[in-house]
Every structure is written in structure tokens, then in C-alpha cells.
Amino acid sequence: MKILSLISALSLLLFCCQSADSVEPIQGQGLPGTWLLYEVGYSPGAGYVTDKIPAQPAQTLTFTTEGQMQVQGERLRGYQSFTNYRLDTVNTRVQLHYLPVIDSNFTYELAQIRNDTLRLSNPGCIEGCHSAFVRIK
């Protein structure tokens, strides 16, 4: 519930607070499109830290309907070796698999899409971590 409230509040801020550094999300359906990184979260061992990411320089993931992906931005350098993706549903979770598999420790993330916000969570993070994106194309 806290996550939903946080995402709602962030969405409201994105819609209401336009500045030179703000981006207006667009409507879309499913994963294909271009997603702008706006937040990362992690646990340093005590509590949970959320860092806001400026809109410039752009940090984006682009997913095509044909299963290809493109990466832009230094903060997303961990994704730059991947050229393709695949979505799988396991029970009630959606897994976003990255291809080709280069590092067996980082092959997929859990994906949630709500109201043109994409949240990726690495299941390998013991105390939690996430990257949050807003759809821009």
C-alpha cells in the first residue's frame, strides 16, 4: 500500500510540477515503448533509501514489440550488454528476462506496470531494490 501511495504521489508531482527538468508521461499499453528512469531505491542495511533521478541527461530503456531493447544513459550501464528481452509470467509475477545472458547473476527482474509507470525489482537484492521509470514514448 505504501508503494502505491508513493507511486501515486510521484505521478501527481510529474503531472503538476512542470519545470525545465520535468517530463510529461504519455499513455500507452504494455511494455513496448521508451521508459525514462526517475527513481532508484535500495537498502544500505538499515531502512530503505530512494534517490530521485534528474530527467537530463536522459536515462532510458526502449522496448520494441519484436523483443528488442535499447539502452541510453550512464546510470543504466548494467543493461547495455542486452539487446533483447522476453516477458514470462510465473504464478502472479511478471519476469522481464534480458538476452543474451552474460552474467548468470543478472538474467531477469520482476516487472510491474501501473499507470504508465514501470517498476523493476531485482529478486537478488536481499533487502530490496528497485528502479522506477515513466513512459515517455
Task: Write out the residue range of the structural domain in which residue 78 sits.
Answer: 2-135
CATH code, domain with 18: 2.40.128
DSSP string, 26-60: ----SS-EEEEEEEEEE-SSSS-EEEE--SSS--E
- Cis previous bond, 25, omega within 30: no
Q: Per the structure block, which three cell numbers stand in for 123?
A: 529478486
Instruction: Classify burial at 128, counting beta carbons within 10 Å of its beta carbon; exposed 0-12, middle 13-18, buried 19 or more.
Output: exposed
Q: Say how many residues make up the chain.
A: 137
Q: What is the pLDDT of residue 9?
A: 38
How many structural domains does the chain have? Answer: 1
Count of CB atoms within 10 A of residue 4's CB? 10
Q: Which residues contact 22 (CB under 8 A, 6 or more apart)?
A: 14, 55
pLDDT given at position 91? 80
pLDDT tens track, the chain, 137 positions: 444 343 343 343 333 333 434 555 555 678 999 999 999 999 988 889 999 999 999 999 999 999 999 999 999 998 998 999 998 888 878 999 888 876 666 688 899 999 889 999 988 888 889 999 999 98
pTM (global) more than 0.95: no
How would you classify the pairing of strands 84-90 and 93-99?
A: antiparallel
Which of 106, 119, 118 lies closest to 32 in space, CA to CA?
A: 118
**One-letter amino acid for residue 130 of the chain:** H
